[in-house]
């Protein structure tokens, strides 16, 4: 059996999947907030992130993030065939995506003034614990995907099967 060859972190693929997942999860979160607002029929407020509908919807954002980032982990690893390397690369990818998310959030929601911008205090303290659960979801989603993929491969092929030949 040939030795396992380490794979390289695919920076371009990581950036592309990051931005695609970030845009999709942001649009889904906005849609969920708007749906909650329509269902709850709250009067419009100038401070959207403190409205009752947003406060309700943000409780679902970590789950939404796990689903979206795990799906994009599949996109990133779609052609990866080596489970031991997949685990290390999943951790690297999760850390990379987390760093990117923190930077994009800070620039897009704190530094640049827009209808969705907040002060640093409101963003990092006012949205606690949800923002930190979202960041945790981003970090662990590639690891979750790698674990599920490994368990699926072990179930189908046995724990000693060479994944590089089977997938």
Q: Where are the domains of the chain?
A: 11-154
User: What is the Cα 89 distance to its own chain's centre?
Assistant: 15
Q: Which residues of the chain have pLDDT under 50?
A: 1-5, 161-167
In percent, how much of the chain has pLDDT > 90? 60
Secondary structure of residue 109 in the 3-state scheme: helix
Pair 126, 118: CB distance under 8 Å: yes
pTM of the predicted model, to two decimals? Answer: 0.84
Distances (CA, A) of 163 to 76, 159, 160: 17, 9, 9
Q: At what angle do helices 83-105 and 130-157 cross, to 10 degrees?
A: 160
Q: What is the pLDDT of residues 33-75, one digit of tens each?
A: 989 988 998 776 767 777 888 899 999 999 999 999 999 999 9
Please state, in angstroms and rounded to a whole number, the distance separating the CA atoms of residues 89 and 27.
27
């Amino acid at each position: 059996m040939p030795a396992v060859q380490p794979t390289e972190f695919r920076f371009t693929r990581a950036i592309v999947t990051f931005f695609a997942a970030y845009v999709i999860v942001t649009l889904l979160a906005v849609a969920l907030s708007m749906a909650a607002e329509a269902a709850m029929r709250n009067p419009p407020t100038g401070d959207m992130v403190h409205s009752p509908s947003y406060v309700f919807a943000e409780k679902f954002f970590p789950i939404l993030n796990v689903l979206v980032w795990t799906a994009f982990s599949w996109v990133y690893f779609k052609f990866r065939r080596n489970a031991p390397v997949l685990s290390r690369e999943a951790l690297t990818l999760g850390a990379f995506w987390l760093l990117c998310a923190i930077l994009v959030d800070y620039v897009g929601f704190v530094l640049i003034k827009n209808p969705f911008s907040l002060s640093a205090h409101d963003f990092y303290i006012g949205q606690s614990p949800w923002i930190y659960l979202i960041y945790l979801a981003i970090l662990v989603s590639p690891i979750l995907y790698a674990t599920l993929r490994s368990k699926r491969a072990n179930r189908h092929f046995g724990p000693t099967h060479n994944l590089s030949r089977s997938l």
